Structure 1
Amino acid sequence: MSYRQKGTDPSLDQVWPTVPRRYCARHLCKNFKSEYPGILMHKLLWAVTKAYSAFSFKKALQKIASTAGLGAVKWFKDIGPLDRWTRWKFDCQLSCDENTNNFVESFNNTIGVDRSCPILTLLEGVRRIAMVRHATRQQLADQWVEEGICPNIRERVRVLTKESRKCHAYPSGRGEYEVSNRRSMLPVSLNS
């Protein structure tokens, strides 16, 4: 995944010509906002990049064309091949539809100054970060009053249990029910 910096694609074409690659939609968004500012344009860009079908992709592009004009549609055509930046064209064999590099950004931020070190020093830094994180979480888990479910999950279950009190189950067949959190009118039999 790249930011489409100049020279990146030609270099990757020389070294790994058959390896699929993608462009980070967050960085595309940043470039798009410089030419087409506004919250609506921001939402429309994400609709185009996150589209799961050709239909929703074309619909989002039509909305952009009607909102910002054909210049915005041309901007998308100039990005490059669709399989590098929009979900509906991603290779299904990769089993990943992620179009941002948030994980990489987070990882780079976590390893900090170790990024600029030789590889063995970098790996030692990553090992240390993982060790400290694991030990910290283990210490927190040791402080739990009750065993079994962690406090965060226990609280979520408590909230869901409280919310489920407002739900109603309506029979829809043998052993099957429709559950709704709204009180609706049940059909009344004329024979009763």
Structure 2
Amino acid sequence: MVETHLCERNYNFGHLISCNWLAKHNIKDIIRMPNMTLSQMMEYVLTKYYVKVSKGQCHRERARAREMIEGKLEEHYAKLCDYANEILRSNPGSTCKVGVSVNPDRMNYFQRFHLLVDDLGVEGGRGLVVISNQHKGLLESVKVILPHVEHRQCTRHIYANFRKKHIGLELKNLLWAAATRNFFTQGYACEAVENGIYESFNSMIINIRKKPLLTMLKEIRIYVMARFYYLADKASTCTTESCPAIIDKMKDFGKEMRNWKVIVTRGSVFETRYWYAAYKVISGIPCVHGQAAINYTHTNPTDFLSIWFQKYKFVTAYTTNISPVNGSNMWAPADYIKSLPPLTRRMPSRPKTKRRRHVSKVNDSKFPTVRARVCRTVRCSKYLQFGHNLKSCKNEQLMRDYVPPKKNRKAKEGWK
């Protein structure tokens, strides 16, 4: 035995550790820190076990740990019908439909989750406003399913298409200034010209939708359930008869009413601007001109608000709740064929996790003067067609396109 060691300690024994062993011993830490990066995981293993591991080992460890925590992908799709039955049991009156596509091998593969418009009781869309962004083919479907709905287009996405050919800050300001509400239906108390609710919900589920199917559905359900309780509790503690945000907006209008002179004809009849009348019937909120007239009569401006901004309407919207659901070990088996996950196709290059920014948002970053890089169009090296490469070519029966040969460059004088 050598009592005094002068040699350096060697940490390069990561090849002796398997990913299964790492996942089993670090599963609690991965549950506690699900967003741990591979570099952080490498440092954590080195600090805890004094062993250097590679990024590949950490990647397999994390995948194995998530599989142990959430289960395999096949198990999620196999329990999909069981989960639908549990939803129907715990929340009577709900509708759950699972669509599958039958393939030539007679196996059922999961396709999509359906939510029926009939469950909303909209009756063709009367009295509703739908704002679409990039509807991606849903425009014609909305015309058929909701023929009487008022269908608006999101101004921000209109500008996104406008910006592809017309770039510039001045044109951007002119487009937003030209956004009009002249054709909005009166009485809906909705003045929105962009779909902010959709964008805020998408930003909330941006991390949830990366998870396996049942885990994703469970976390969205828990979020909506907690959101309903929070808003119902907030409404119960509200001391005003109207929504506080609307009252704050009316106060902003009230600060400017000192600049307007009220012209009285008789009694409670006033001459007002057409802008006030149009804004009032579209938004349901008295503007600065209307509040000046209301203040002249010494009445409460909140009495002229639309009923959709009253407290009792807000409370009524959140009187319903989502009942809790049992764990997966208590679900009753459904009498349906178990679904399989959709067929996956390996995409070229490494998968991207960063959000693909729209063309209208590219120059809103910290480099506003830098033009976005335009990717080149791929071309098949076999049939010389644009839009696909040799690996994804499906035109085996097509004839080869004729490509004229390149002309040889003339040699310079003095060169042989």
TM-score normalised per structure 1: 0.43
- Larger RCO (CA under 8 A, 6+ residues apart): 2
TM-score normalised per structure 2: 0.21
The structure that is helix-richer by fraction is: 1
